[in-house]
Amino acid sequence: MTTTEALLIGRRRRLALTMIGGFAGLVALSLAVAVAADLADAPTAAALTDRVVPLLVFYAPAPIAAVGGYARCGGPACLAVGAVPAVVFAALVVVGTVFGVPGVGPGDSPIGGVTMAFAAVGLSGAFVGYCAGVSAALLGDLVGFGSGDEGDEE
């Protein structure tokens, strides 16, 4: 597989799936803890999640996609990392609506707009991160550092 194919399509499927699944689990856990802390009226946990959730939802997709781009996980996997916060948030709203969790259901809030905003921010950050990772991989190949010949092609 040529370098261009490895960077665009991806060579390391197992790493890509681990990257996407791990990030989805981390975002889901942080959102669930934030909801639980809000329902339990725990100010310390709520203060912590008020700092961690925006970090994961808005800022983390770019560096994760950059690492994925450098590791030759492929563009689709790196962009999927950007969609993870929106998908997890939408799933949380659906689960909250089905099980009647207070403060999670659709109610009067614009859930669709918030979900689309999460998707837009996450995808744009992941795209920029992927481009940076690919640039770093190509520059590394040019210099002779980290050629990326190893990898699982399963």
Q: What does the pLDDT look like over 85-110, one tens digit per residue?
A: 889 888 888 887 787 776 666 665 66
Kindly report, residue by residue over 128-144, the tens digit of the pLDDT: 999 999 899 888 888 87
Kindly report, residue by residue over 4-59, the tens digit of the pLDDT: 776 777 778 898 899 999 999 999 998 888 888 877 888 887 788 888 888 888 89
Q: Which of 134, 144, 147, 145 is nearest to 10 (CA)?
A: 134
pTM over 0.75: yes
Find the mean pLDDT for residues 105-129: 81
Question: What is the pLDDT at residue 137?
Answer: 87
CA distance 111 to 117: 10
Question: What is the pLDDT at residue 103?
Answer: 64
101 to 35, 38, 96, 107, 146: CA distances (angstroms): 9, 11, 5, 11, 48
pLDDT band at 2 (very low <50, low <70, confident <90, very high): low
CA 109 to chain centre: 24
144's CB contacts (< 8 A; 6+ apart) are none
Contact yes or no for 69/134 (Cβ under 8 A): yes
pLDDT band at 154 (very low <50, low <70, confident <90, very high): very low
146 to 10, 109, 128, 137, 150: CA distances (angstroms): 16, 48, 21, 8, 10
Find the mean pLDDT for residues 105-116: 69
Q: Which of 137, 130, 131 is nearest to 19 (CA)?
A: 130
Contact yes or no for 139/74 (Cβ under 8 A): no
Comparing 67-71, 75-79, 107-111, 128-132, the range with the smallest average pLDDT is 107-111
CA distance 56 to 40: 22
Question: What is the pLDDT at residue 21?
Answer: 93
